[in-house]
Homo-oligomer: A and B are copies of this chain.
Amino acid sequence: MTLSPLHPPSPGGARTGIPTGIPAGMPSGRLLAPSRRAVPTAIGRAPISGSETLKSVATALDVLECFALDDELGVSDIARRLGIAKSTAHRLLSTLCSRGLTEKNPDTGQYRLGLHLYELGQLAQSRLKLRQTALPLLEDLRRVSGLSVHLGVIDGADIVYAERLETPAGRQLLAGVSRRWPSHCTSSGKAIAAFNAELAQARRDIGFPPRTTGTIRSVADYDLALAETRRLGVGIGHGEAVAGISSVAAPVRDLSGRAYASISVVGPSSALIGDLDRTARLVRTVAGHIAHRLSA
C-alpha cells in the first residue's frame, strides 16, 4: 500500500507502508475479487497475516467487499461466500446496519451497502490533498478538451480514480465503469508505471489479467509499452480496459521525477484518435502544472 503520494508534497519521502506483513501487491483485486477469504482458490495470494488483524473486524470488512459484485445479498449468501456460520453473518450485518454502512432492503429482506458508507467515502475523498490541488486544473482540462477527465492514484499494483469529472456524453460512456483497474490496462497505469519502478514491478509480480482482446498480457509487451510511454511523455490506451474506450494520460511527478499520480482524458476511441498530438500536449501541460503546485 503506497500511501504518501496521495498527500503530497513529500518528494523523495519514505514510502514504506505499515508493517502488517501484507505483501505490497495485495490490494489488487479488491472490489474485483471481493475478498481474500471469499476466494480460497485465489491465485498465489498469501493469506491475511493473522498477527495484526482482528478477526471479527476483518470479517466485517470482508462482508463489505462481498457487495463489490452484487447489489444485494442475503445472510446466507454472505455466510456461504465467506465460509462462516449464518448466525455470524447475521450478527455482522446487524452491526454494520446499526452504523449505516449497510442497509436492509425491507422489500426483499436482502442487504446492501448503506448511505453512511457513501458519506464516509466522500469524507475520505475530500481529504485528499492531491485532489484538492488538482481539482480546478482538472475542471479547466475538461472544459478545454471537452472530454471526461480522470485523476488516477496508485494503490498496490492498481490504479484508483480519485476523481472523475464527466462530460454529459462521458457520463453515459463510463456509467458503471469501475474506479479501480490493474495498472497494465489503462493509460493512467502506464503513465505512472513508466516513471515509478515500484508500481511497474508490483504489476509484473502479480501478472497481467486480460480485460479485452487488446490488453497487454506479457512482461515483454508491458516493458515495451512503458518504454514507449517514457518516449512520448504520455500513456496511451486503446480499448485495453473497455472495448471502444481510449484514453491519454500524463504522469504527475515529484521533484525526483518519480510519478505518484496521473491525469487523463477519456472518450470513445473515435474521438481521441483524431488529434492525439494536441491532446497529449494538453494533458502533459496540465499534469506539469499540478506537479508544480504540489511541489510548492
Q: How far is the CA of A122 from the CA of B124 in the complex (A)?
A: 11
Q: How far is the CA of A287 from the CA of B143 in the complex (A)?
A: 28
Once A106-B16, A118-B162, A135-B171 are accepted as A-B contacts, the answer to whether A123 and B31 lie under 8 Å apart by CB is: yes
Would you list which residues of chain A between 60 and 79 have a CB under 8 Å from chain B?
Answer: 60-61, 64, 67-68, 71
User: By the criterion CB–CB under 8 Å, are B106 and A13 in contact?
Assistant: yes
A220 to chain B, nearest CB (A): 31
Stretch of A51-59, A246-254, A288-296 that contacts chain B: A51-59
Contacts of A127 in B (CB 8 A): 71, 112-113
Q: How far is the CA of A30 from the CA of B23 in the complex (A)?
A: 34
Say if the beta carbon of A125 comes within 8 Å of chain B: yes
Say if the beta carbon of A18 comes within 8 Å of chain B: yes
User: By the criterion CB–CB under 8 Å, are B124 and A115 in contact?
Assistant: yes
Contacts of A144 in B (CB 8 A): none
Say if the beta carbon of A217 comes within 8 Å of chain B: no
Say if the beta carbon of A91 comes within 8 Å of chain B: yes
Say if the beta carbon of A105 comes within 8 Å of chain B: yes
Say if the beta carbon of A221 comes within 8 Å of chain B: no
User: By the criterion CB–CB under 8 Å, are A58 and B99 in contact?
Assistant: yes
A70 to chain B, nearest CB (A): 10
User: By the criterion CB–CB under 8 Å, are A94 and B61 in contact?
Assistant: no
Shortest Cβ distance from A70 into B: residue: B127
Selected from B53, B61, B106, B119, the residue in CB contact (under 8 A) with A101 is: B61
Selected from B104, B112, B117, B153, the residue in CB contact (under 8 A) with A115 is: B153
Say if the beta carbon of A45 comes within 8 Å of chain B: no
Measured as residues with beta carbon below 8 angstroms from the partner, the interface class of chain A is: 35 or more
User: By the criterion CB–CB under 8 Å, are A105 and B56 in contact?
Assistant: no
Would you list which residues of chain A between 11 and 45 have a CB under 8 Å from chain B?
Answer: 13-18, 20, 22, 27, 30-31
Would you list which residues of chain A between 144 and 198 have a CB under 8 Å from chain B?
Answer: 153, 155, 160, 162, 168, 171, 176, 179-180
Contact with B along A107-138 (1 / 0, CB 8 A): 10000111111111111111110000001000
Q: How far is the CA of A116 from the CA of B162 in the complex (A)?
A: 10
Selected from B56, B94, B101, B106, the residue in CB contact (under 8 A) with A15 is: B106
Q: How far is the CA of A15 from the CA of B96 in the complex (A)?
A: 19
Q: What residues make up the interface of A, taking CB atoms closer than 8 Å to B?
A: 1, 3-4, 6-7, 10, 13-18, 20, 22, 27, 30-31, 48-49, 52-54, 56-58, 60-61, 64, 67-68, 71, 91-92, 94-101, 103-107, 112-128, 135, 139, 153, 155, 160, 162, 168, 171, 176, 179-180
